Amino acid sequence: MTPFRNQFANFRKKIMPTEASQVHDDVNAVGEARPRLICGLGNPGSKYIGTRHNIGVSCLDELMVTYSLASDRKKSSESTFGEIEINGNKILLAYPTSFYNETGLGLAKKIRKQGIKPSEIVVICDDIDLPAGEVRMRLTGGNGGNRGLKSIINVLGTQHIPRIRVGIGRPIDENGKPVYGSDEIANWVLSRPHSSDLNQLSSATSLMVAAIKISIAEDNEAAMNFLNSDT
């Protein structure tokens, strides 16, 4: 009987792009790449619509509204995919139907089928350690405690995956101190933003749309420089 570790290794080979380990060890290649698929992290189901943890999905919805040239969404067993067109480039939008922390497997199957490299993905996720509405982009790095991003990195076997982080802020206790308890954090990310944060989050989605357009017209590094600029 094949040991479980070998079974898992064989399974990963089937779902991972064959060139991932050779092509994407160079972060410069990630900066020069342009996205072919945008993955918005979130949870499936109507009860999660508009929650802080679904800000990535909200950003995909904004892209669909802005670029509705090919706005049909196609369902698969793992994800629902939309397609938009920007400057003549067709871009897939991945709406996961698996729960947040298990995003990686469904995404890996899709990019393998489409021949998409990890550097050609942009993951949009919420970040509890950024103030509400602040937006930052990185081309590589660890998961920063984000379990959805951790799932993607683990399954694809590389950290060289562009990601846009949208701040949702950290909850504050009655004494004005940041909250770190797991139950409180879970309640926070699965609830909807305060009305006082909505304008900032709306501005964040607009920035994200502009950054995606730049990344397609130029490259990922240009989009990162745009989003991370303080001006």
- Catalytic site residue from 24, 53, 160, 194: 53
53 catalytically annotated: yes
Dist. CA 15–CA 106, nearest whole Å? 9
Q: Which of these, 51, 126, 35, lies nearest to 84 by C-alpha position?
A: 35
Q: Other CB atoms closer than 10 Å to residue 33's CB: what's the count?
A: 23
Dist. CA 73–CA 87, nearest whole Å? 20
**Residue numbers annotated as active site:** 53
